[in-house]
Structure 1
Amino acid sequence: MTLELQGLGVSRGIAIGRAHILFHNQPDVREYLIPAFAIEQEVERLLDAIEQARQQLKSIRNHIPANAPADVTSFIDTHLLMLSDSSLTKVPVEMIRERRCNAEWALQLQRDALINVFNEMDDPYLRTRRDDVDHVVNRIHRILSDQEVAEHEIPDGRLKGHIIIAEDLTPADTVLMQHQGIAAFVTEHGGATSHTTILARSLGIPAIIGVESVRRYVQDNELLIVDGETGTLIAGADALTITAFESRRLAFEQHISSLSRYKSQPTKTRDGKAITLLANAELPEDITTISNAGAQGIGLYRTEFLYMNRLSPPEEEEQLAAYRDVVEGMNNQPVTIRTFDLGADKTVDGGRPLSQAVVTNPALGLRAIRLCLSQPGMFRTQLRAILRASAFGKIKIMFPMISTMNELVQARNLLEQCKLELDNEGIAYDRSIEVGAMIEIPASAVCAEMFARHVDFLSIGTNDLIQYTLAIDRIDDHVNYLYDPLHPAVLRLIQMTLNAGKKHSIPVSMCGEMAGDPRYTRLLLAMGLEHFSMHPNALLEVKQVINETDLSLLPANTLEVLDIADAVETDLLIEQINEAVHNN
């Protein structure tokens, strides 16, 4: 009997293979009292386990090929950094000494405290970093409980061609199993912006997440079909279904291999409309991947990770070095740096929380530009560093989550003060540096025309714009099915922003996941979008769609999608839009 399960497709591709069900045996962590004479032995036991975990990850990292995407090594490095962070090394040690509790319990208490901090974060991308805490702590726990090395960490070829079924996977798991030649993976949990799913896209592994209780429905070694685009998992398929999916798999692989020819081509439609394709980045290591993808610059450089996992904010010189590395690595191509988008729950200023008040809804609280303006000292430090870095290449400054004109005026005033300081100090910077605002909430989209009069560019952050418009959390398994880029309210807000840019002759870019999804490319072109910024792995596929599009051949009713309330009708029209060009 055929069984079809639905999840969230996070990495495109078709895979057909036998199931390998992966069980992580989680230790039963309980508290017990350590005798006074054995406290330091218990401390050493914890530190030894942390060191073993570090060596395991280093071994994994050392086996990563030199030509692997930058994402692969950077995610392993993130876990290595966490193993050196005082929150996981010093705090549990203090607990052992103060409470005389066992290492497992001290580590679990600290894990719970860290998870609570991440759970309260408003930014979905940052909130999924809680998964990294869990992955690192679980590795240490397995060492403390003397568990044998997990079977998927033994490179004996047993996983080649298999589809991995698991509760969740770590980035290290994903790297190891990719080297063993897995065909795909399906997990019960995980977020669309987690390190593991981003890594799956970088490595080209078809993947589905959020298939609840999948390990109860699938049998080990059962033949499965995975569609990483639609999020469909099929078990017990008949011969005709298998043959159909095998044809689709081959067609998709041929399609991906054909994209390389577009790297050296200019980005423009068949009727001559030039389009700008930019990449999103957050680490200096991303530059290699971005250059290999043929991006025309960086449309969004996230700076939050300079502020994470530390007791105090980064100083000006540290930030300058990071920004300079990025801009010089881009060889005079433009780099748009977004000022820090953190929440009130994040500790800054020497590790002290910004407020002792309980934050009921941090997504609607003191975050992004609001936090920047409430911490002018920290904000000025970043602005000075960005300005100084602009002397070494083309840099633009972008303010996140602008909702009122007063916020924009205050931010620009602080920027002007920093310019005056640098003038007085005789420090060089780009005096004509461009300043932009992100459109991430309905209020800013509705007022886009107002903001457009006072900035050099606008950038639509669709990830937040969609979830704020539709009042849903896109990493919540219970409601993420409502996350719909094609909802008419979302499309109308995007159109308003594009119209505002056109009226005031300033460029409008889009830097959310919608920009990197080729299903929406032709619609966005029809709406007037000319600047796309996305994960570098999506660039060539979007470029192909653009270069094969003749805007004059798009259906006359293309923009009627803004007025369609029924999701099925919307999907049908999008199919017509995408097929119309192919048929001409």
Structure 2
Amino acid sequence: MSAVASARSILTQLHDVMASRIHPQGKLDRVVDVIGEALDSEVCSIYLLRQGMLELFATRGLNTSAVHVTRMAVGEGLTGVIAQTNEILNLDEAKSHPDFQYRPETGEEKFHSFAGVPIVYRERAVGVLCVQHVDPRKYDVVEIEALQTTAMVLSELIAHAELVDEEDFDQSVATRDAEVVEGLPLVKGLASGRAVFHQPRVTIHQVMADDVEVERDRVYRAFGRMREQIDSLTSQSEFGIGGEQEAVLETYKMFAYDEGWSRRINEAIDTGLTAEAAIERVQQHTRLRMREIEDPLLAERMHDLEDLANRLLRIVSGQLGTAATQGLRYDTILIARNLGPAELLEYDRRRLKGVVLEEGSLTAHVVIVARAMNIPVLGRVRGVMSRVREGDEILLDASESRVTFRPTAAMGDVFDSRFAKRREKQAAYADLRDVEPFTRCGTRIHILMNAGLRDDIAALKLVGADGVGLFRTEFQFLVSATLPARERQMRLYRDVLDSARGKPVIFRTVDIGGDKAVPYLRTSLAQDDENPAMGWRALRLALEREALLKSQARALFEAAAGRELNVMFPMVSEPWEFDAAKTVFEDQRAFLTGRGKPMPSAVRYGAMLEVPSIVEVLDLLIPKLEFLSVGTNDLTQFLFAADRANPKLAERYDWLSPAILRPLRRIHQATIGSQVDIGVCGEMGGRRLEALALLGLGYRRLSITPAAIGPIKELVRQIDLAELTEAMTGWLARPPSDIRVALSAWAAARDIDVD
């Protein structure tokens, strides 16, 4: 029997059970028999939440005397873990799991295998359906899917039969007390507001279909409406037609046409599910796959597909609208399982203060966009969808890796105090907007900002930056379903230069590939990268795909007509790579000149120093450059062989280690006597203590996030460079046990605030 036929047989039997006139307990008793027989499993049990505890309500294979006797807390034992995490367990040996607990009254000691799925009602687990077997074996995907389908049917039964008390459910699963939860900081910062769910939960009222063909037609029509909705959202975007949001939505449209995805939904309908239940069924399978995917880039694409499924589910159910389309009414902390970059761009920035994700990764495209929008994001907050309710007060401290739900008054006072100090500092920094940053000894330090979106350039005037030291051109590529056309690139670059109003802008050529994968550029090497950050990316990829670099060169030249153009090549590993990239650009300049196109008044070429190998050949590279920017983020991870996306390594290696500071000093010294303008662009320059060290090494140009410009300007005005340089020289010659401690003490003795 095929998987579809088997699933249909199970669903037909469940339909008969649900349609019968027997009482709810009798239905549960019959369900465990149906599933046990269908899966040839010796045990099938149903646990439901009752008075805050998971109670054994029905079983096939365990001692029947344990029914309504065996109870366990949420989080206790394997069943409790499933209810707590809302996740599946599939074990060939149950006793091997650290949360395994033996209940003697059940008589389960002879069973080895165990699989369980949550019974979910309104985004929260209200019970668990599990199976066990004497022989140690993992249940296959078809069997797990059968359990999930049954759990959906049971959820419908629970809703109608009131087997779970609503008030008890709210109190036990979604506690009303204050709760502090740890997460992974994706974009650091402080924010407070009320909880708003990005996607209000779609309630599935009917799981089993009355007419399969009617359900199939509903799905087909929903697919059509979804594509129209994406087109409409593009035209309504604040970025306008041709902007970044439209490109992201085009990516979603590409997924919408995926035949494999629509086929799986149709197969689920063939088993006898309604359109809504079929979409949810396939979505559950997607989530299961996501948990098994170790590649963060592939997982991110799976998140895009889940986002699309959520859109489709809302359309087919008639429950349309997200929090973005409905509008935010107050300061908001957005709650989501995961979020796509396009959806983040839909929100009113005046109201959106922060984001908390149940999933999320450091390599996600949404993180790049959120950082550019200066919106703090905390990811990997386990169980956030069940821990918080719409309208709950939230204090988000992404800098300290935590979020507080329903804070007490005392917690709020502490947070408000921190926030007030932050606002006071920001007001002081705003007063420095038009102040040129000179040190106490009279040296002018040039402080520029990093950017990647068209709207970022407005911050130039707001923070008083000297220019844009790094414009990441890859943002436009990351959010596009296809390679951005030259005309579209040109419009973006021209708008950026217009908005800069004569201040310098350094355009870094596209840095995609590796850990910034795009679906439309695939190479055999890129697909097999085990370490994407050190793989086929940036200039390596651009030189292979020369048409990509040629198109960008023409777009930049035409956009900068009559103005100075600054071009920086990323991830230069050897001088010949810089030569090859510059040759591509110069050939395109000659091509355009020959056709009478107006050209920039001057073109300056530079390189980004991120790869340690180039440090050893700086004497060969420097004569070729007008400027050099040290990318401290990648340089640090390459020097330490430490993936910066790995949370275990993120804080392990110190930027103020001699292993980093000595190479940085060597790099700066190599430029002395040349005409090369050297600077730093990266997070290191935006941290006060680390910036102090960089100034002590001789660096006089920093390109940092807009939010850090005020604090660094304030720092600069407190420094005597001769004194600082002498201290740094001594520490690097004879390193103390901890340079960070030594530099902090040096600053404190001079009343220099480095926090």
Aligned-partner residue type, residue 219 of structure 2: E
Secondary structure in 2 aligned to 1:447? helix
Alpha carbons of structure 1 residues 187 and 375: separation in structure 2 relative to 1, 3 Å = closer
Of the three residues 246, 254, 258, the one matched with 1:88 is: 254
Give, in whole Å, the separation in 2 of the partners of 1:317 and 1:116: 41
- Partner of 2:529 in structure 1? 360
Secondary structure in 1 aligned to 2:567? strand
Give, in whole Å, the separation in 2 of the partners of 1:427 and 1:238: 65
- Partner of 1:275 in structure 2? 445
1:494-553 Cα offsets, whole Å, 9 max, x none, are: 222222222434111222222223342222211222111123233223222223333345
Give, in whole Å, the separation in 2 of the partners of 1:419 and 1:212: 53
Of the three residues 568, 591, 598, the one matched with 1:428 is: 598
Aligned-partner residue type, residue 576 of structure 1: A
Aligned residue pair count = 561
Give the drift of 1:473. 2.9
Give the drift of 1:468. 2.2
| 1:337 maps to 2:507 | yes
Secondary structure in 1 aligned to 2:466? coil
Structure with higher RCO (Cα < 8 A, 6+ apart): 1
Q: How does 1:199-210 map to 2 (within 5 A)?
A: 208-210=378-380
Residue pair 1:226, 1:232 contacting (<8 A) in 2 also: yes
- Partner of 2:31 in structure 1? none
Aligned-partner residue type, residue 546 of structure 2: P
Secondary structure in 2 aligned to 1:520? helix
| 1:539 maps to 2:709 | yes
Give, in whole Å, the separation in 2 of the partners of 1:562 and 1:217: 49
| 1:146 maps to 2:312 | no
Provide the aligned C-alpha RMSD in A: 5.1
Of the three residues 595, 609, 612, the one matched with 1:439 is: 609
Of the three residues 660, 674, 691, the one matched with 1:504 is: 674
Give the drift of 1:458. 0.6
- Partner of 1:473 in structure 2? 643
Aligned-partner residue type, residue 522 of structure 1: L
Alpha carbons of structure 1 residues 129 and 495: separation in structure 2 relative to 1, 3 Å = farther
- Partner of 2:308 in structure 1? 137
| 1:49 maps to 2:49 | no
Give, in whole Å, the separation in 2 of the partners of 1:452 and 1:96: 55
Give, in whole Å, the separation in 1 of the partners of 2:183 and 2:452: 28
Give, in whole Å, the separation in 2 of the partners of 1:253 and 1:398: 35
- Partner of 1:530 in structure 2? 700
Give, in whole Å, the separation in 1 of the partners of 2:647 and 2:320: 31
Alpha carbons of structure 1 residues 324 and 191: separation in structure 2 relative to 1, 3 Å = same
1:232-264 Cα offsets, whole Å, 9 max, x none, are: 557899998876654333222211122211111
User: What stretches of structure 1 of length at least 5 have no aligned partner?
Assistant: 63-72, 122-126
Of the three residues 656, 661, 674, the one matched with 1:486 is: 656
Give, in whole Å, the separation in 2 of the partners of 1:238 and 1:37: 51
Alpha carbons of structure 1 residues 432 and 290: separation in structure 2 relative to 1, 3 Å = closer
Give, in whole Å, the separation in 1 of the partners of 2:594 and 2:352: 59
Residue pair 1:202, 1:537 contacting (<8 A) in 2 also: no
Q: Between 253-262 and 351-360, report the one with greater CA deviation.
A: 351-360
Residue pair 1:50, 1:83 contacting (<8 A) in 2 also: no
Alpha carbons of structure 1 residues 558 and 313: separation in structure 2 relative to 1, 3 Å = same
Q: State TM-score, norm by structure 2.
A: 0.61
1:414-469 Cα offsets, whole Å, 9 max, x none, are: 33333433443343324741111111122123433432122111111222222222
Alpha carbons of structure 1 residues 566 and 174: separation in structure 2 relative to 1, 3 Å = farther
Residue pair 1:11, 1:205 contacting (<8 A) in 2 also: yes
Secondary structure in 2 aligned to 1:468? helix
- Partner of 1:517 in structure 2? 687
Give, in whole Å, the separation in 1 of the partners of 2:196 and 2:215: 42
Give, in whole Å, the separation in 2 of the partners of 1:432 and 1:118: 47
Aligned-partner residue type, residue 499 of structure 2: G
Aligned-partner residue type, residue 45 of structure 1: A
Q: How does 1:142-541 map to 2 (within 5 A)?
A: 142-144=313-315, 146=317, 148=319, 167-168=337-338, 172=343, 186-191=356-361, 208-211=378-381, 226-232=396-402, 246-308=416-478, 313-343=483-513, 351=520, 353-355=522-524, 358-361=527-530, 362-430=532-600, 432-482=602-652, 484-541=654-711
Give the drift of 1:396. 1.0
Aligned-partner residue type, residue 225 of structure 2: D
Alpha carbons of structure 1 residues 129 and 464: separation in structure 2 relative to 1, 3 Å = farther
1:177-210 Cα offsets, whole Å, 9 max, x none, are: 976686x655454345756556666776665444
Give, in whole Å, the separation in 2 of the partners of 1:86 and 1:212: 26
Give the drift of 1:369. 1.6
- Partner of 2:82 in structure 1? none
Give, in whole Å, the separation in 2 of the partners of 1:85 and 1:225: 33
Secondary structure in 1 aligned to 2:510? coil
1:251-279 Cα offsets, whole Å, 9 max, x none, are: 22211122211111112222211111222
Give, in whole Å, the separation in 2 of the partners of 1:201 and 1:346: 15
Give, in whole Å, the separation in 1 of the partners of 2:659 and 2:665: 10
Secondary structure in 2 aligned to 1:336? strand
Give the drift of 1:363. 3.3
Of the three residues 554, 579, 584, the one matched with 2:748 is: 579
Secondary structure in 2 aligned to 1:459? strand
Of the three residues 720, 723, 727, the one matched with 1:557 is: 727
Residue pair 2:439, 2:719 contacting (<8 A) in 1 also: yes
Residue pair 1:166, 1:186 contacting (<8 A) in 2 also: yes
Secondary structure in 2 aligned to 1:433? strand
Residue pair 2:230, 2:253 contacting (<8 A) in 1 also: no
Secondary structure in 1 aligned to 2:568? strand
Give, in whole Å, the separation in 2 of the partners of 1:219 and 1:90: 31
User: What stretches of structure 2 of length at least 5 have no aligned partner?
Assistant: 1-176, 269-277
Give, in whole Å, the separation in 1 of the partners of 2:449 and 2:457: 10
1:82-117 Cα offsets, whole Å, 9 max, x none, are: 334475366236864899557848999999999999
Secondary structure in 1 aligned to 2:311? helix
1:397-429 Cα offsets, whole Å, 9 max, x none, are: 111111012212222333333343344334332
Aligned-partner residue type, residue 360 of structure 1: D
Residue pair 2:244, 2:476 contacting (<8 A) in 1 also: no
Q: Between 422-431 and 433-442, report the one with greater CA deviation.
A: 422-431
Aligned-partner residue type, residue 462 of structure 1: T
Residue pair 2:449, 2:460 contacting (<8 A) in 1 also: yes
Alpha carbons of structure 1 residues 544 and 201: separation in structure 2 relative to 1, 3 Å = farther
Name which one, 1 or 2, has greater alpha-carbon Rg: 2
Aligned-partner residue type, residue 614 of structure 2: S
Give the drift of 1:487. 4.0
Secondary structure in 2 aligned to 1:509? strand
- Partner of 1:65 in structure 2? none
Q: State TM-score, norm by structure 1.
A: 0.76
Alpha carbons of structure 1 residues 143 and 244: separation in structure 2 relative to 1, 3 Å = closer
Residue pair 1:328, 1:392 contacting (<8 A) in 2 also: no
1:476-500 Cα offsets, whole Å, 9 max, x none, are: 3454343643343333332222222
Residue pair 1:324, 1:389 contacting (<8 A) in 2 also: yes
